Amino acid sequence: MKKSTRTAYVVTIMLLLPALAPAAPQNVRVVNGEDRPIPVYDVVQKEPFQWGVMNIEFVGLSATTSFTVPAGKRLVIEQVSGSAFIDTAGEVVEFSVATTTNGTYARHRLAFFPIGNAGGYTKGYTASQSVTLYADENTEVVLAADRNLPGAGVMHATVSGYLVDLD
């Protein structure tokens, strides 16, 4: 490389360096009238929550379990998973989680996927889904696996998310 070309590169780099340096912090002044206030939001304190249960037996056509949301808290469910294992003819047709929010009970269904024989049972199924569900204080969160024919079997279920304080 010629000396003149090298000098041109060095000069170019030296000229660009100030433009690449981070800018000094600037003070910002926001002017809003009373008719256009700046919104301020409380940051919600999230308390991690996780709940799980294993070996809930099928009774008739379903295996069902539940837990109660603590008083003074709202539960935000972010992940639900479950598995079911059955030992007779028939199929597991549905896995669901039900919650009550603002007095409305709703049952949310998740798709079950067959995984073959597992857990010592003839048929196994699994479900896992990211969700955003809410449950009010002192209400039950109900998890269920339903099948089309009665017989022996068990269900496992897990819920995770976070609790927030009610004010």
Report yes or no on 124 lying in a domain: yes
The predicted-structure confidence for 34-56, as pLDDT tens digits, reads as follows 787 776 655 568 999 999 999 99
Determine the distance from the C-alpha atom of residue 72 to the mean position of all C-alpha atoms in its chain, rounded to a whole number: 21
Amino acid 30: pLDDT: 73
Amino acid 98: pLDDT: 98
Number of structural domains (the chain) is 1
Report yes or no on 6 lying in a domain: no
Report yes or no on 81 lying in a domain: yes
The predicted-structure confidence for 99-151, as pLDDT tens digits, reads as follows 999 999 999 999 889 898 887 888 999 999 999 999 999 999 999 999 999 88
The predicted-structure confidence for 78-100, as pLDDT tens digits, reads as follows 999 999 999 877 888 799 999 99
Report yes or no on 144 lying in a domain: yes
Amino acid 162: pLDDT: 96
Strands (E), 20-152: 47-57, 62-68, 73-86, 92-101, 104-110, 113-118, 121-135, 140-147
Report yes or no on 14 lying in a domain: no
Report yes or no on 21 lying in a domain: no
Report yes or no on 106 lying in a domain: yes
pTM score, two decimals?
Answer: 0.72
Report yes or no on 41 lying in a domain: no
Q: Which residue range forms the structural domain that includes residue 134?
A: 47-165
Return the CATH number at 141. 2.60.120
DSSP code of 24?
P
Identify the band that residue 57 occupies on the pLDDT scale cut at 50, 70 and 90.
Answer: very high
Amino acid 7: pLDDT: 67
